[in-house]
Structure 1
Amino acid sequence: MSTQSSVWFITGAGRGMGIDIAQAALAAGHSVVATGRDASRVLAAIGEHENLLTVSLDITDPAAAEAATAAAVERFGRIDVLVNNAGNFYAGYFENISDAQLRAQMETNFFGPLNVTRAVLPVMRRQRSGQVITVTSMAGLIGQEFCAAYAASKFALEGWMESLRFDLEPFGIKTMAVEPGFFRTELLVEGSSTIWPELEIEDYAERTATTIEAWKAMNGQQGGDPKKLAQALVILSDSGDLPLRFIAGADGMASEEQKLATIQSQIDAHRELSASLTYDA
C-alpha cells in the first residue's frame, strides 16, 4: 500500500457520494480539490480542512474545467487522482424523454467527464503518472426499465473508459470504471439528481406513474453505504493496482454475474450460426 500523499481532483463533491469520497481521501492524508457548481456549498458540505481546495466547476463547460485544473495545479502543483463523479438521472421511458432532456443527460453524464479528463490529462502526462477513476453505474452494463437515457450515458462512459486505458498506459496513467449498484445517495432525490420525463404519452401513462412512485419509495432504502464505497476507492487508489472495473455492492455483483451468464447463454444458443458467417474456403 502506498503511504505517499496524493492530490485528488473530485467532481460533484458538493453532495451525495462526492462528499464521502472527498472526506475519505482527506482522512487518508491526501490533498483534495473538491469541485461543484458552487464552491461555497462544496466547502460547507465537506468542512474546512487545510488540505482542501474547493473550486466552482460546471463539468459541461470545457473552459471551466481548464480553469479548475489550473487552480488545482497552482495550489498543489500536481493532480494524481481524477475522480469523475458528477452526474444526474433523467428517468423515463424513451418516448417520454424529450430530445432536449436526452441531450442534457449526455452532456452531463458523458461529455462532462470527457471535458474534465481532457483538461487534467496534460498534467498527468507531464508527470508520467496518475489515475482516472470514473463512476459509471450498474446501468453501464445492464439496461434497465425507465433508464433509457441514463443507461445510454453510462454505457457510453464504459466504452470510453475501456478504450482510454490503451491511450494512457504508455504514460503511466491508470484507469478504473466504478460500477455501483444501488447506494443510499441523492441520486433518487427529486429536484436534486433525478429529473422526470417531460413528455406525456397515454400508452405509457400508467406505467410511468407506477414506476415513478416505485423509484421514489426506493430513495433512502438502498442497501449500499456510500461512505464504505468512498473508503474502498481510497484503498484501491492507494494500492496502486487499479482494476479496470470495480463492481461496487453485493447487488451489483449479483446483477452483473447474471448478465454475464445471459450473454454466455446467448452465445451458446447460436454458436453454430455465428461461426458459419466466415467466407467459405
Structure 2
Amino acid sequence: MATWLITGASRGLGAEIARAALAGGDTVAVAVRNPDRLPEDLKNAERVFPVALDVTDTEAIAPAVASVAERFGGIDVLVNNAGRGLLGAVEEVSDAEARSLFDLNVFGLINVTRAVLPYLREAGGGKIVHIGSRSGFEGEPGVGLYSASKFAVAGISEALAAELAPFGIQSMVVEPGVFRTDFLDQSSLSVPAHRVAAYDGTPAHSTLDWVDDANHTQLGDPVKGAALIREVVGADKLPGHLLLGADALDRWQVKVERVADDVQAWREKSVATAHQD
C-alpha cells in the first residue's frame, strides 16, 4: 500500500488519479485550494486526507506536506497535477499573464517537489509524477506560453530523474493529448486581456475556435488515462516519459520526423563548427 500526494485533485485527471489509487488499495492525500469543493466520493473516502493548498502560496507548501507525512507516516508518490491553460498568440500574452501561468504550472511544481524530496530521500526511495502535456514536446500555435510552461515541466522531470537516481527516487513526466476533463472550461483556461486582430484567420486564433467545439468532446477518457498512470506507477521502473492518447503519440511522431529533417539538412555544417582550421 502506497501513500500518494496529488495536487489539483478536486476534478479532472487529478481526481481520477486519486480514484485509481484508492481502487488499488492505496491511501491518498488530495491537495486542493478548497477541500469543500471535493467530489463527495473523495471528500468522504476512508483513505483520503484532504489538504487545503494553493501551490502558488509558497509559504503554505511545507506545512501542508508535513501534515501529510505526519498523517500517513511518509509519502511514496507525488503527483504534480495542479495547473491551468492559457490561450493566445505569444505576442498577445502580457508579462503578468505569463508569470501568473508559470507561478502555477512551473514554480508551484518546483516548490511542492522541493518540500516532498526530504521525505523521499529519508525513506530511501519514492516516485514523482509530473503532469505535462503533448504541448510540452511540440510548440503549437495559440498556446505558446502554455507550451513553454510544459516544456519546462518536461525538462525539470528529466533532470530530476538523473539527480535523484542515487537516492532511489524516480521521476516521470506524463504527456497527455486531449482528454474529456474541465481543462477547456473558463475555470481552467484563460485568454489574454489584449487581442491582436491581425491574428484572426491564422492558426493562433483558430485554436480559440477549436476550444469551443472540443470542450467535453475530446477523445481521451480520463478514467482510462488515470488507470494507466496508476498501473505504470505500480511497476518497478518508471519511464522517463509516458504519452497518453493516440493524438499524443501521433504528434510525437510528427515532432521526431520534423527534428530529424532539420538535423539532416544542416548536419555537415553543424559538425564542421567543431573542427579547427
Instruction: Please give the alpha-carbon distance, in whole angstroms, between the structure 2 residues aligned to 1:229 and 1:25.
Output: 12
Matched, 1:42 2:38: yes
Counterpart position of 2:212: 216
Give 1:68 shift. 1.3
Instruction: Please give the alpha-carbon distance, in whole angstroms, between the structure 2 residues aligned to 1:60 and 1:179.
Output: 22
AA of the residue aligned to 1:81: V
Counterpart position of 1:122: 118
Give 1:270 shift. 1.2
Instruction: Please give the alpha-carbon distance, in whole angstroms, between the structure 1 residues aligned to 2:102 and 2:252.
Output: 23
SS state at 1:79 partner:
coil
Give 1:155 shift. 0.6
Instruction: Please give the alpha-carbon distance, in whole angstroms, between the structure 1 residues aligned to 2:48 and 2:133.
Output: 27
Alignment of 1:175-254 (within 5 A): 175-190=171-186, 192-205=187-200, 207=202, 210-254=206-250
If the length of structure 1 is used for normalisation, what is the TM-score? 0.95
Give 1:200 shift. 2.6
User: What value does the CA root-mean-square deviation take over the aligned residues?
Assistant: 1.4
**Gap change, CA 1:115 and 1:271, over 3 Å in 2:** same
Q: Deviations over 1:142-191 (max 9, x none)?
A: 0001011100100111111111111111111011100001111111012x
> Residue 95 of structure 1 contacts residue 199 of structure 1 at CA under 8 Å; is this kept in 2?
no
> Residue 110 of structure 1 contacts residue 153 of structure 1 at CA under 8 Å; is this kept in 2?
yes
Worse overlay, 207-216 or 242-251: 207-216
SS state at 1:184 partner:
coil
AA of the residue aligned to 2:198: D
SS state at 1:153 partner:
helix
Q: Which runs of 5+ in 2 are unaligned?
A: none
Match of 1:132 among 103, 128, 133: 128
**Gap change, CA 1:280 and 1:179, over 3 Å in 2:** same
Counterpart position of 1:260: 256
Q: Which runs of 5+ in 1 are unaligned?
A: none
Worse overlay, 196-205 or 100-109: 196-205
> Residue 15 of structure 1 contacts residue 45 of structure 1 at CA under 8 Å; is this kept in 2?
no
Instruction: Please give the alpha-carbon distance, in whole angstroms, between the structure 2 residues aligned to 1:199 and 1:276.
Output: 45
> Residue 88 of structure 2 contacts residue 205 of structure 2 at CA under 8 Å; is this kept in 1?
no
SS state at 2:178 partner:
coil
SS state at 1:132 partner:
strand
SS state at 1:146 partner:
coil
Matched, 1:104 2:103: no
Instruction: Please give the alpha-carbon distance, in whole angstroms, between the structure 2 residues aligned to 1:210 and 1:254.
Output: 20
Instruction: Please give the alpha-carbon distance, in whole angstroms, between the structure 1 residues aligned to 2:118 and 2:50.
Output: 21
